[in-house]
Amino acid sequence: MPETARRERFEQTVLPHLDAAYNLARWLTRNDQDAQDVTQEACLRAFRFFDGYQGGNMRSWLLTIVRNTCFTWLHQNRPPDTNEVFDEEIHSAEFSGGPSPELQVLAGADKETLRRALEELPDVFREALVLREIEGMSYKEIADIASVSLGTVMSRLARARARLRQSLGARLGKES
Amino acid sequence: MSCELTQRFVPGYLDGELDLVRTIEMETHLKSCAACARELESQQALREAVRRGSLAYSAPAALRKSIQSSLRTSTATKDADRASAWFALLTWRWAAAFAVLVVCSVTAWQLVPALHGPFNNQQLAAEVLASHVRSLEANHLMDVASTDQHTVKPWFDGKLDFSPPVEDLAGDGYPLVGGRLDYLEGREVAALVYQRRKHFINVFVWPDANGVSPARALESRQGYNLMRWSRGGFQFWAASDVSAPDLAEFVRLLENRVSPGSK
């Protein structure tokens, strides 16, 4: 049956990237159950579009679908991003605010503190950081997945890091 | 390069995404500017902390399973959808007409017993084909593997209520390679396996008291050729993926070996 053969091919080529798919969904929804729902929906959607897959980077292809499914889901199920959303082009000069924390403070950041600080970033910043630092993707790949320009990727990453650093400094500074 | 520009390009520099000219400009500036060098160090420390934090989540096993089972259901439904699209073509009018047709055919069928034959043949052909395919797929081609008809024939003793004719056609290019028990038309039958180069031929044999009919090829199904005949008190069915002429040749040879009268 062609349908079965198609499913088997899908399972062999797409499912190896399930960890990456879930990881992105998990960071964007910030919740395990929602991430599972979104990943599942994205995979079924990917299966429907599978015939349109032209070859190339399978992980990017899948993550693009996961990303779009996530943002649709967030739009329907969550109040607008509580962290104010900046227009990157207008605010692109803003990112140096506040003294940066000491190197030792950053070096001592534990996993839980890092996780919380990352979760507090606006969605598009968190997305860029997760794709870059956890998935190790290039600017070009991130730009393709998020459908933005290379310049926007660079500016999102810069501002995501600046905010993360500030937030870590505040958290760790308080504790110590 | 100014401090402001340098600081803006630090992330790209760390990520190795700057072009060569900018990279050189940055490195020149970093050598002479302590503030910018500190900024670089700080971002480097941040990046290392994030990477060291092993923040990646792995997909739960339950999710993987659930996706696989959804895919299975969705493919099954799709196949079912295709089938129901066919039924959708039948409006109730057509359905009524179809029902009348069915009633008529069933009546005709019952009134004319002679029609039973071909119908049963169709069903039996499907069974034979399924047995043939299964024997190749399940790696269960033979219960007794032997090229010696005097080993294969006695093997059936005590396993069947008849003794099937077993002939070796090695001299004609169709060596006997073994036999096994199979099940057709609700009874146990002997299956004899012959080989033609890389292809296998299954010959199914069971008693058929009143049948004497010449070999006849059935329409090939799914790339397999089927032939049936009755002779010497047995009914024979042969199934294989060898070409129709090869199978016909094989059947002719086998027919000649089995004497018309004896068992």
For residue A38, what is the nearest residue in chain B, using CA coordinates?
A: B63
pLDDT of residue B90: 56
Rounded to whole angstroms, how far apart are CA atoms A49 and A29? 23
Rounded to whole angstroms, how far apart are CA atoms B182 and B131? 8
Q: Give the residue among A106, A98, A142, A97 at the shortest CA–CA distance from A124.
A: A142
Interaxial angle between packed helices B34-52 and A150-175, expressed in degrees from 0 to 180 and rounded to the nearest 10: 80
Helix, strand, or coil (residue B203)? strand
Q: Which residue type occupies A173? A: G
Q: Which residue type occupies A13? A: T
Mean pLDDT of chain B: 83
Neighbours of B52 (CB within 10 A): 13
> What is the pLDDT averaged over residues A35-60?
88
Q: Which of B42, B47, B57 sits opposite A26 (nearest CB)?
A: B57
Superfamily of domain B116-257: MucB/RseB, C-terminal domain (3.30.200.100)
Mean pLDDT of chain A: 84
Contact between B255 and B215 (Cβ < 8 Å): yes
Q: Which of A23, A96, A165 sits opposite B56 (nearest CB)?
A: A23
Which chain B residues are closer than 8 Å to A43 by Cβ? 67, 70-71
The 8-class DSSP code of residue A63 comes to H
pLDDT of residue B120: 65
> What is the pLDDT averaged over residues A30-57?
88
* Joined tokens for residue A26: 């998990």
Which chain A residues are closer than 8 Å to B41 by Cβ? 103
pLDDT of residue B139: 62
Rounded to whole angstroms, how far apart are CA atoms B121 and B126? 8
| Interface probe with B: pick from A118, A133, A140, A157, most Cβ of B within 10 Å | A133
pLDDT of residue B115: 44
Angle at A158 between CA A153 and CA A162, to 5 degrees: 145
Which chain A residues are closer than 8 Å to B50 by Cβ? 114, 118, 129, 133, 164
Q: Which of B39, B50, B67 sits opposite A114 (nearest CB)?
A: B50
Query: Given an 8 Å threshold on Cβ–Cβ distance, is A96 in contact with B59?
Result: no
Where do you find CATH 3.30.200.100 in chain B? 116-257
pLDDT of residue B191: 94
Query: Given an 8 Å threshold on Cβ–Cβ distance, is B74 in contact with A44?
Result: yes
* pLDDT higher than 90, residue B140: no
- pLDDT tens-digit map of A73-84: 988 887 776 554
ipTM score of complex: 0.85
- pLDDT tens-digit map of B206-219: 998 777 788 888 87
The 8-class DSSP code of residue A102 comes to P
- pLDDT tens-digit map of B68-118: 998 888 777 666 666 666 666 556 666 777 777 887 777 666 655 444 445
H runs (alpha helix) in A30-149: 32-49, 58-77, 103-107, 111-119, 123-129, 139-146
The 8-class DSSP code of residue B113 comes to G
Helix, strand, or coil (residue B212)? coil
- Å between A170 CA and nearest CA of chain B: 14
pLDDT of residue B111: 59
Give residue A148's pLDDT band: very low, low, confident or very high (50, 70, 90): very high
Residue B81 in contact with partner chain A when CB distance is under 8 A: no
- Bridge-based pairing state of the strands B224-231 and B176-184: unpaired
Query: Given an 8 Å threshold on Cβ–Cβ distance, is B70 in contact with A40?
Result: yes
pLDDT of residue B78: 65
| Interface probe with B: pick from A29, A37, A43, A45, most Cβ of B within 10 Å | A43
pTM of the model: 0.55
- Å between B71 CA and nearest CA of chain A: 7
- pLDDT tens-digit map of A105-131: 777 788 889 999 999 999 999 999 999
Answer yes or no: CATH 1.10.10.10 is held by domain A103-175. yes
Angle at B251 between CA B191 and CA B115, to 5 degrees: 80
* pLDDT higher than 50, residue B65: yes
Contact between B34 and B6 (Cβ < 8 Å): no
- Residue B33 has φ and ψ, to the nearest 5°, of -125, 110
Q: Which of B10, B55, B60 sits opposite A114 (nearest CB)?
A: B55
H or E segment and range at residue B72: helix B61-89
Query: Given an 8 Å threshold on Cβ–Cβ distance, is A115 in contact with B48?
Result: no
Helix, strand, or coil (residue B205)? strand
Q: Which residue type occupies A57? A: N
Higher pLDDT, A108 or A140: A140
> What is the pLDDT averaged over residues A132-145?
93
Lowest mean pLDDT among A76-80, A97-101, B43-47, B188-192: A97-101
Which chain A residues are closer than 8 Å to B15 by Cβ? 132, 139, 157
| Interface probe with A: pick from B51, B67, B79, most Cβ of A within 10 Å | B67
Query: Given an 8 Å threshold on Cβ–Cβ distance, is A154 in contact with B45?
Result: no
Rounded to whole angstroms, how far apart are CA atoms B111 and B106? 9
- The domain spans of chain A are 2-77, 103-175
Rounded to whole angstroms, how far apart are CA atoms B263 and B261? 7
What would you report as the CA-atom Rg of chain A, rounded to the nearest whole angstrom?
18
Residue B41 in contact with partner chain A when CB distance is under 8 A: yes
* pLDDT higher than 50, residue A89: no
> What is the pLDDT averaged over residues A28-38?
94
> What is the pLDDT averaged over residues B22-34?
90
pLDDT of residue A92: 43
Name the residue with tokens 């069974």.
B127
Give residue A90's pLDDT band: very low, low, confident or very high (50, 70, 90): very low
CB pairs under 8 A between A and B: 119
Query: Given an 8 Å threshold on Cβ–Cβ distance, is B57 in contact with A18?
Result: no
- pLDDT tens-digit map of B182-204: 888 888 899 999 999 888 999 99
For residue B79, what is the nearest residue in chain A, using CA coordinates?
A: A3
The 8-class DSSP code of residue B168 comes to -
Strand partners, B239: B202, B226
Strand partners, B199: B196
CATH for A2-77, among 1.10.1740.10, 1.10.132.20, 1.10.10.60, 1.10.3720.10? Answer: 1.10.1740.10
Which chain B residues are closer than 8 Å to A26 by Cβ? 57
| Interface probe with B: pick from A38, A69, A149, A154, most Cβ of B within 10 Å | A154
Residue B74 in contact with partner chain A when CB distance is under 8 A: yes
